A and B are shown apart, each in its own frame.
Chain A
Amino acid sequence: MNELSILIGGKAGDGVKLGANILARLFNRLGYYPFVYEDYPSLIRGGHNFAIVRAADKPVAANYDQFDILIALNQETVDKHKSNLNKGGIIIFDSDSVKAQGIGVPLTKIAQDNSLPLIVRNIISFGVLANVLNVDFKTVEDCIKSAVHKKIDENIKVAKEGYSIKIGKKINLSKLKNPAKPLITGNDAIAFGAVKAGLKALIAYPMTPASSILHTLAAYQDQLKIAAIHPENEIAVAIMAEGLAYAGTRSMVATSGGGFALMTEAISLAGQAEFPVVFILSQRPGPATGVPTYTSQGDLFFALHAGHGEFLKIVLAPGNVDQAFQLSADALNLAWKFQTPVILLTDKHLSESTYAANFKESQVKPELANIWNKKGEYKRYSFAKDGVSPLAFPGDKAVVKATSYEHDEFGITTEDIDPILNMVNKRLKKKESIIKYLKNKETVKVYGNKNSDTVLIAWGSTIGVVREISEELNLKAIQPLFLEPFPTNKINEQIKNAKKVICIEVNATGQLASLLKNNGIDVDKVILKFDGRPITLNELKNKLKAK
């Protein structure tokens, strides 16, 4: 067997997240590429949480809704997911609190006998599972040491008790040769990519599913020599970041739809004053508070149209951690190259799922912005061929005047006809410049059978499932990495021989399909899902087969 899916479930507070993380570390050590999807409601205690840990023999970014093993820390895990157990599947459960058929283990009693809190049931059941998979105990110990930071010896001891329980049936999972990879979330990758492109300040107000960008960078702020600041609200967040950029510091903000709504005045300001700032928008289902801890791709149009007035904006959408690392760095570099707001779209599925990372730290670096040569009198908004005026910062021997008003080259307010026209045109020139710049860059990814006349199109995290199914069904799949400027020509190039173009999205109205249509690209069919859950592999396959 070289593919396995495990669901671990319990109530909030049962340590499902850590349990899933340790499982992923185990598969990582066995040479597999793990993928972890976490499903939890918006509450702190109680409810029903679960995580799906998939081990595959190639990098993956999607999961099945059929499982080989269930680990049940509560009754609901059995009741809700038993019907999704594959033939021959196994349920490992706490026989002290759960009724099921399979490997019942007195997890509660073992914890109590060791005077440990019930949260260690995740570790005990991990020991049981390791035995089921015929893994040597040294690897179990190693996984615990890498993931658990408190009471390590106690945890290893109870894992051993779980490991020693006699079981009838075992699953033979072959060991693969792939090296172990860092297991990180999309949000981690976004945070690290930005840091490698010179990020020095992350400003954010907590909002799921963007919060972990703030948490990660706050946790490592001293090690990374950056600041992670949490101000009074998202209005302050966005304009504080612009103050930092104005004074020469690479800054970024991270939020979800509701917070992004409050930031739109700042996006418009960044357009007018030409501030280079990156906005991370991690989508969840709306409108309004919506479904806070679930996923959606419903804010594509909101991102594209955010901010009043007409100005250049760049919108990017990575689909996995490797792309997230690269595009987050690109976002910061592009913001500084073109002095304009850049929006990086992610969603709960990419932001919070855990992937095996294959990027290299050295693949990105800060790219130089256009800096003033210190000759003559400085004009912040000097007319330039490509629309990009050289930057100077307060403290330099220059008077740097940035402004939200329409202005002349010095940054002094104007309401006169010619200066208005000149400055509007100067800013719009940047759009031509970026389109030219992107001509030779990879703005569209192509997967699967490149000769197939059925083409699947998806953006963001949804490309994970689409890519895998396109490979399995021998179809072509394409993914625009850039949504603004929209890579119309490159997409047309990829679909010119297509008989059928199918757009697949996690929203209710088919926003990418509309965007394609607006750019003259016809879509034959849309497959949509909008219940807050990502599309699974079986689901997409069935929908494509149903036609």
Chain B
Amino acid sequence: MKIDELKTNAVNTWCPGCGNFGLERAFKQAVAELVDEGFNLNEFVMLSGIGCHAKIVDYIKLNSFYSLHGRTIPPATGIKLANQKLNVISFAGDGDALGEGLAHTIFAAKRNSNITLIIHDNRIYGLTTGQFTPTSPKGFKGRSTPQGSVEDPMNPVELMIASGATFVARTFTGNINQMKEIFKQAIKHKGFSFIDVLQPCFTYFNTFAVYQKDCYDIMEKKHDPSNFNQAIERAREWNYNGGPIPTGVFYKIDKPSFEEAELKGKDLRSKDIATISDILKTKI
């Protein structure tokens, strides 16, 4: 299919030069290719939090759940429980999924919910005009930290591997092809897929040139994504301050998903109503 078919009437309001354009493009390409491979367009569901990233659901003609700030994961899990045929993909900001909604992110990994979480990691609160986030570098001068943040950044890739995610990757909006391939793999993966997308914010924290220079593909180093210790070691190579930045699939293993283990074949959209008389009899 052509990616133009995924266009809506919404007017795009991202700043010119924003990394979100590349991310949107790569995702649409991934969807188009998956549809060509036999996926059903009506079975994609996008979710988003609140922030610049979140506008993506207005721009793509797919089912969507435009949630609250920090809350893409719980409804994504609910949607997957309701209908396991659906491909459920959450789009969240770094403030969104690692700040406001961090507990949900860790639990999605812990329970291996069969959903995909894409972080638009611009390392800034974009929509609220430039405050530091959990992944901003130490010393970052934002509007809430004019003297420089005194906190060390969080490393979401390491955190997700440690929390039980079964697919963990990092990519960069300057590398559309890598992004698209990773999105496709993540959507196909059975279990929780986490992708940290380095997405420069043109207006408040333009990191494009640095990423262009520092990002490298971990396959160049013969990385084995099924090896937990190697994955953690690679994840620790970059601590969200300076230095070379590994990208690619860090970790990928097979494990039963939360939804299949929890439901054991039950269909939560079934119209059948169970009888309660057998239960009531035991209460006499």
Contacts and interface: CB of A to CB of B under 8 A. Distances in A.
Interface of A: 25, 28, 146, 180-184, 188, 192, 195-196, 198, 200-201, 203, 220, 222-227, 229, 231-233, 235-249, 251, 265-266, 269, 273, 357, 361, 365-366, 393-405, 410-413
Interface stretch (B58-66, B165-173, B214-222): B58-66
Interface string B48-82: 00100001011001111111100101111111011
A182 B277 CA distance: 10
A232 B66 contact: no
Q: By CB atoms of chain B within 10 A, which of A28, A203, A248, A394 has the most?
A: A394
B266 interface: yes
B268 A184 contact: no
Contacts of B76: 243
Please classify the interface of chain A as helix (H, G, I), strand (E, B), loop, or mixed, using the class held by over half of its residues: mixed
A236 B103 contact: yes
A188 B8 CA distance: 47
Contact of B68 (A181, A225, A227, A239): A239
Contact of A411 (B64, B82, B104, B272): B64
B67 A404 contact: yes
A226 to B, nearest CB: 7
B45 interface: yes
Given A236-B107, A243-B76, A395-B83, A248 B269 contact: yes
Contacts of B65: 243, 246, 273, 402-403
A410 B273 CA distance: 33
B71 to A, nearest CB: 5
Contact of B58 (A180, A233, A412): A412
Nearest to B111: A231
A224 B269 contact: no
Contacts of A412: 8-10, 58
Contacts of B43: 394-395
Given A195-B273, A248-B82, 18 more contacts: A180-B284, A182-B280, A184-B283, A222-B266, A225-B274, A233-B103, A236-B74, A240-B78, A243-B65, A244-B79, A361-B280, A365-B273, A366-B271, A394-B43, A398-B42, A402-B65, A403-B66, A413-B10
Contacts of B266: 222, 225-227
Interface in B223-250: none
A232 B102 CA distance: 11
A232 B270 CA distance: 26
A201 B262 CA distance: 12
B209 interface: no
Contact of A183 (B42, B82, B274, B284): B284
A249 B54 CA distance: 25
28 contacts: A146-B284, A181-B284, A183-B284, A192-B276, A195-B274, A198-B273, A223-B279, A229-B81, A232-B103, A236-B73, A239-B67, A239-B71, A243-B82, A244-B78, A246-B82, A247-B45, A247-B83, A249-B82, A266-B68, A273-B65, A273-B66, A357-B280, A361-B275, A393-B83, A394-B83, A395-B43, A401-B63, A404-B68
Nearest to B40: A395
A249 B269 contact: yes
A273 B65 CA distance: 9
Contact of A246 (B9, B75, B263): B75
Given A243-B65, A243-B75, A361 B276 contact: yes
A394 B79 contact: yes
B94 to A, nearest CB: 19
A200 B74 contact: no
Contacts of B42: 394-399
Residue among B50, B55, B77 with most chain A CB within 10 A: B77
Contact of B50 (A192, A404, A411): A404
B85 interface: yes
Contacts of B282: 146
Nearest to A244: B78
Given A198-B273, A223-B274, A239 B66 contact: no
A249 B77 CA distance: 13
Given A232-B103, A247-B86, A242 B75 contact: yes
B98 to A, nearest CB: 15
A200 B268 contact: yes
A246 B78 contact: yes
Contact of A243 (B61, B79, B279): B79
B213 interface: no
Given A227-B263, A400-B63, A394 B74 contact: no
Contacts of B66: 273, 401-405, 411, 413
A403 B71 CA distance: 12
Contact of A182 (B271, B273, B274, B284): B284
B2 interface: no
A180 B43 CA distance: 50
A233 B281 CA distance: 34
Nearest to B83: A247
A244 B57 contact: no
